[in-house]
Amino acid sequence: MSKPGEAGLKALADYLAQDMRACNQVIVARMQSPVALIPQLAAHLVAAGGKRLRPLLTLAAARLCGYDNQDGKLRHVEIAACVEFIHTATLLHDDVVDESQLRRGLASANAIFGNKASVLVGDFLFARAFQILTADASLDVMAILSAASATLAEGEVMQMTTQNDLSTSVDQYLQVIYGKTAALFAAACEAGAVIGEGTPEQREALRVYGANLGMAFQLVDDALDYAADQAVLGKEVGDDFREGKVTLPVLAAYEAGNEEDRVFWRRVIEDSEQTPEDLDAALALIAQTDAIGATLRKAEEYAAKAREALALFPECDIHSLLIETASYSASRER
């Protein structure tokens, strides 16, 4: 399912098509288990596609640092598959936690296989990721990915505690999206740099690139939840609204709104009292207050920082494509 304006990301995936194919093969091979339900459920998510943005970042970072796999191994591919397993595990658990019915435009795994299977297969994929990391034997990569996994869980818990709470500050919101999204983007890039034997400066630059790219990515995701067609987005529009998630579009509209607006927001977000017409009312207030514009401008700030972080690398195809990916990540047409 291609989306308008995916060019930056798609061009990178095309450029690294051979690595991406190898990564898909590792993903399919390593999600096998004698317990048939595990590969069945995992295959449902793999089949649903997704952009595989995070493993792509690992592959690109390794190649940007000059990884040429002359070791006869495909370490960058193995680690990229790990990153995707960790991400998939959190998706499975998120969908249980959020009771989501759709994921990437298809029925979510929990909707088909039930919550139990989704929790347990998530656990399996997480454990399998650490088996692959152990086999790869880089303590640096393990430290990066285990720390990111802990931060991810912290971000999700923090998001839960800010839910329905309009006194959440923008800083707290930014901490939440760092944890739930940007930390793994940062780790995916940094792990690639370690595999590519980048210098400490290159490794740090790629970490910063990934962190800022992840922030931009999540900000746009949060904007699209109030601004996109379901067909384009592949998820239910207004999901965040219905769940009472306190995202930047809501915070910005609440901040810029008058007292009547705020009474509305408190009812629908804090008290979770929503009528079927309330989503349209929320969309109208968000449009009036330019809350989407504010969110996208914030995303562009992060995208700019991501691009700057790569300044120390010499010009090359992957460098340009990563710069382009940062630009597209902050675009509402991504």
In the complex, the residues that contact a second copy under the rule CB under 8 A are 33-38, 89-90, 93, 96-97, 115-117, 119-124, 126-128, 130-131, 133-135, 137, 139, 142-143, 146-147, 149-150, 152-154, 156-158, 160-161
Supply φ then ψ for residue 28, to 5 degrees. Answer: -65, -40
CB of 151: closest distance to a second copy in angstroms? 8
The answer to whether 145 and 183 have CB atoms below 8 angstroms apart is no
The answer to whether 152 and 184 have CB atoms below 8 angstroms apart is yes
CB of 22: closest distance to a second copy in angstroms? 22
CB of 145: closest distance to a second copy in angstroms? 8
Residue 322 and residue 59: Cα distance in Å, rounded?
A: 11
Taking the least distance from each CB to a second copy, the nearer of 98 and 221 is 98
CB of 138: closest distance to a second copy in angstroms? 10
Taking the least distance from each CB to a second copy, the nearer of 33 and 327 is 33
Taking the least distance from each CB to a second copy, the nearer of 34 and 200 is 34
Taking the least distance from each CB to a second copy, the nearer of 137 and 311 is 137
CB of 36: closest distance to a second copy in angstroms? 8
CB of 31: closest distance to a second copy in angstroms? 11
CB of 322: closest distance to a second copy in angstroms? 27
Taking the least distance from each CB to a second copy, the nearer of 36 and 311 is 36
Taking the least distance from each CB to a second copy, the nearer of 124 and 313 is 124
Q: In the chain, which residue ranges form alpha helices assigned H by DSSP?
A: 7-15, 17-30, 37-47, 53-64, 75-98, 109-113, 115-136, 139-162, 170-177, 183-195, 200-224, 230-233, 239-243, 248-256, 259-265, 278-288, 291-309, 317-329
**CA 316 to chain centroid:** 26
Report the phi/psi class of residue 50: left, alpha or beta, with left for phi > 0 and alpha for psi in -120 to 50.
left
Residue 115 and residue 149: Cα distance in Å, rounded?
A: 21
CB of 119: closest distance to a second copy in angstroms? 5
**DSSP string covering 173-223:** HHHHHIIIIIHHHHHHHHHHHHHTT--HHHHHHHHHHHHHHHHHHHHHHHH
Residue written as token pair 């790219």: 213
Taking the least distance from each CB to a second copy, the nearer of 150 and 263 is 150
Taking the least distance from each CB to a second copy, the nearer of 111 and 120 is 120
Residue-wise burial string across 123-138, b where 16 or more C-beta atoms lie within 10 A, e elsewhere = ebbbebbbebbeebeb
Q: Tell me the β-bridge partners of 106.
A: 103
Residue 238's identity, in one-letter code, is G
Query: Kind of pairing, strands 106-107 and 102-103?
Result: antiparallel
